[in-house]
Chain A
Amino acid sequence: MVNKSYSALKQGFLCCRQCHKVLPQKQQQVIQCPRCQNKVYPRIPNSLSQSWALLISGIFLYIPANILPIMTLTKGGTIRTDTIMSGIINLANIGMAPIAVIVFIASILVPALKIIALAMILLATQFKWSMSTYMRTKMYRIIEFVGRWSMLDVFVISILLGIVKFNKIASVDIEPAGLLFAVVIILTMLAAMRFDSRLIWDDINEPN
């Protein structure tokens, strides 16, 4: 395909972020989309700062979410308190390696890589690094797709709590890290949503 590229904004057009309608840019900064009544901005206002704020709060909560215990299982007099990592090690020890790998990917690998990748995209966009725009867009799409899957562990502890509740000799308690972890995932999802991927393509040199 033709590699020459002209963004809509540079040619005096705005694209509605919600319904993707192309509108001519008026004098005033903000116009209303006639099709979906959304306010149309050239780019999401303060996209980078909002994204940074959400991501940094996520990073701060990520540390206690991984260090603090996520749930306590009391069974027949023995009390077992698990963090996310020790729960995975325990799964691997009882011979459930494939499931342990799935949980490891969903709750350790994905959040960590997501935070690193999003920070890289934000830094590269803010400081105009010469990082491939195509790569950055690909990374951003992967982040948006896999982000939700980290909720896996939160759902698992809820099901365990629901099942064991009826039982007399065993009990499950959800510890603070359960909620913290869920909040980390929501914050990083919001951070990815507030980032306007069109900013990646704005600083490339366009042929005139």
Chain B
Amino acid sequence: MRSTLNTDNTQSLEACPDCDLLMAAVQVKEGCTSHCPRCGHTLEHPTRLSIRNNFFCVFAGLILYFPAMLLPILQFTMVGNTEALSILVCVQTLFSTGNWGIGLIIFFSLMLVPLVQMILLIFVTTRFYYQVKSRYLAFCFKWYGYLNAWGMLDIFMLSIIVASIKLRDDAELDPGFGLYAFISLLFINTLQTQLLNKKLIWNLIEKHGE
């Protein structure tokens, strides 16, 4: 392997981020996936028009974000009176009852991180329309990567189900409009993560700076 590897030009080299294996960079066809031969890490999974589709996903996500956070996700009837709960109200309740620690965690992982990630990605995917320095683009995309592990929309979906089942006997629960928006946001968010081609975006950011 060593004899075939041209180490003069770093552009033609690629290292596995998981196990540091040095390889010759390969062009991966759309729809195919490249794996690290040593540790099996997925190196790249390019899809057709991934940047354009990413932009549309994030744009749809931004529209869905506000109803998902502000409108009631659950409506419940307990001893005659009907009330509704939205994510914002949930966070407010946590703060007003003194559970600021959990309140902050929920605020960050459900409200702040998804919103900031979407704004950063909109900025990166529409870079051609703005005269921005590649340094700022790199900064945005870097932070998008840092925040990736801390958005927890999918876990909240499961906890809505668990909480509704726990309260099944005590209250009559109905889904609110916010729940549909939330499910759509989760779906779009997952799709966008699947479509995201980090390697392609980093290469474009690098070219943008030249």
Contacts and interface: CB of A to CB of B under 8 A. Distances in A.
Chains A and B bind each other: yes
Interface of A: 1-2, 4-9, 11-13, 15, 17-24, 35-38, 75, 91, 94, 96, 99, 102-103, 106, 133-134, 137-138, 141, 144, 148-149, 151-163, 165-170, 173-174, 178-179, 182-183, 186, 189, 193, 197-198, 200-202
Contacts of B158: 102, 106, 149, 152
B99 A9 contact: no
A75 B2 CA distance: 71
Interface string B141-155: 110010001001001
18 contacts: A1-B38, A18-B142, A22-B13, A22-B14, A22-B22, A36-B138, A75-B170, A137-B19, A151-B105, A154-B106, A155-B156, A155-B163, A158-B106, A161-B94, A166-B81, A201-B19, A201-B21, A201-B38
Interface stretch (B53-61, B62-70, B83-91, B120-128): B83-91
Nearest to B79: A169
Contacts of B78: 166-167, 170
Contacts of B191: none
A144 to B, nearest CB: 8
Given A2-B37, A8-B21, A17-B17, A159 B159 contact: yes
B198 to A, nearest CB: 8
Contacts of B187: none
B101 A179 contact: yes
A167 B163 contact: no
A133 B39 CA distance: 8
A70 to B, nearest CB: 11
Given A5-B38, A94-B169, A170-B170, A156 B163 contact: yes
Given A7-B22, A160-B166, A35 B138 contact: yes
The 3 closest A-B pairs by CB, nearest first: A155-B159, A15-B15, A1-B37
A167 to B, nearest CB: 5
A193 B149 contact: yes
A189 B149 contact: yes
A107 B41 CA distance: 28
B162 A162 contact: no
Contacts of A102: 158, 162
Given A11-B7, A182-B101, A198-B20, A152 B155 contact: yes
